[in-house]
Amino acid sequence: MPFSSLGLSPALVRAIGEMGFAAPTPIQQQAIPAILGGADVLGSAQTGSGKTAAYALPLLQLLQQGKTHTPRRVRALVLVPTRELAAQVGEAMRILGQHLPQPLKIAIVFGGVSINPQMMGLRGGADVVVATPGRLLDLVEHNALKLSSAGLLVLDEADRLLDLGFAEELQRVLALLPAKRQNLFFSATFPGPVQALASSLLHEPQRIEVAATPDNEPVILQRAIQVDEKKRTELLRHLITHEGWERTLVFVATQYATEHVAWKLYKSGIFATPFHGGLSQGARKQVLAEFKDDRWDVLVTTDLASRGIDIAQLPVVVNYDLPRSATDYVHRIGRTGRAGQSGQAVSFVSAATEAHFRLIEKRQHLSLPREQIAGFEPVEVEEAAAGTGGIKGKRPSKKDKLRAAKSMDAGSGPA
């Protein structure tokens, strides 16, 4: 099925062809006609499936059809959770719209940089604003733009935007939008509570859920390697060297860990660099560009890089620290095996994190064999918590302390 059969204009078909895409992906086949028909859409498909183009192409066409020569008003708003995703989506939309007969102005705004250039860029308005919620609200407060005419709203990585971390900002943005609008919510994952909230914001939505099949599922080899926590950096260095990993994305839990692990690798002769939210926007942009250009062998990052960032032909993702949830696991490993490429996702599992990884496996319907690498066999043993079936931590919980206090009180009473 060619893109031209979906009702797209020749200008958009030409642009998508120049990007190297000959045929639409399953999510694009279903979403593009639905959006062009004016429906609200709740779209779910695995990472790397082409969700950005699935909403960007019909959005550009709808705006082009209603294009006038009057002063620009914000007609479409695309909300994303991170600066990197804002830049990536905005650039993709500019490329897709480059051949339109009447050019559309696309503004990209996010925090972490000076607001003044963004305010200047919004002079004269914009047809599309791609934004992170916080900076968008800052610009509204500065009277740099109004959203009362934005009849089309897109939430990219909607599950995160609908989560508690963005709930207050999202509600403030929604209050500024017209009540009558078209809503497009896209994500790789929609946990139950988030899906219920999304449904409450949509009007008779068309639900598009593209399940992974042998034809469209990313080819990702998933591995679970048992290792003691203190040996993880040494094992990582060994795997990069002996398995010939040319470019590796390593996920850790904290900003400090990105710096620490990257420095350890760099000292051992591996070109590794940290990437986290504590860096300036300019530094983050530079590091990401250098990694994409193969100037770094390893990028050590937090979950900042787990969503939306598209790194072509990334062969390996490593969970140095396990993700907090099964949803985060999906987004992390989805950085590899994109656009028809193959990849592998390696998780380091210690005695202390074995139970948590089993939970991830259960939620993702996985059962991965545990590997051990010669010279790095673990010596730590998982401790089962008596009566709970879980893992007993080294430090007593608050409930443990209360139980102990009651026991002592009871033991000190009269015989």
Three-state DSSP state, 275:
strand
Domains 3-210 and 219-371 agree in fold: yes
CATH fold of 3-210: Rossmann fold (3.40.50)
| Residue ranges with strand state E in 188-277 | 206-210, 219-226, 248-251, 272-275
Q: Whole-angstrom Cα distance, residue 340 to residue 278?
A: 33
**57 with 32: CB under 8 angstroms?**
yes
Check residue 289 and give its pLDDT: 87
- Over the stretch 372-406, which tens digit does the pLDDT of each residue have? 999 999 998 876 544 333 333 344 444 444 544 54
Instruction: Enter the tokens of residue 57.
Output: 């192409």
* pTM summary value: 0.70
- Chain center to CA of 384: 34
- Domain ranges, ordered by start, for the chain: 3-210, 219-371
Check residue 229 and give its pLDDT: 95
Q: Whole-angstrom Cα distance, residue 267 to residue 260?
A: 11
- Over the stretch 290-316, which tens digit does the pLDDT of each residue have? 998 889 999 999 988 777 677 777 889
Instruction: Enter the tokens of residue 337.
Output: 């095996």
Q: Which of 311, 116, 111, 350 has the alpha carbon at shortest distance from 229?
A: 350
Torsion angles phi and psi, residue 204, rounded to 5: 40, 60
Torsion angles phi and psi, residue 269, rounded to 5: 100, 10
**96 with 12: CB under 8 angstroms?**
yes
Check residue 308 and give its pLDDT: 61
Length of the chain: 415
For the 219-371 domain, the top CATH level (class) is alpha beta
Segments of the chain with pLDDT less than 70: 67-71, 212-218, 308, 338-340, 383-415
Q: Whole-angstrom Cα distance, residue 314 to residue 342?
A: 9
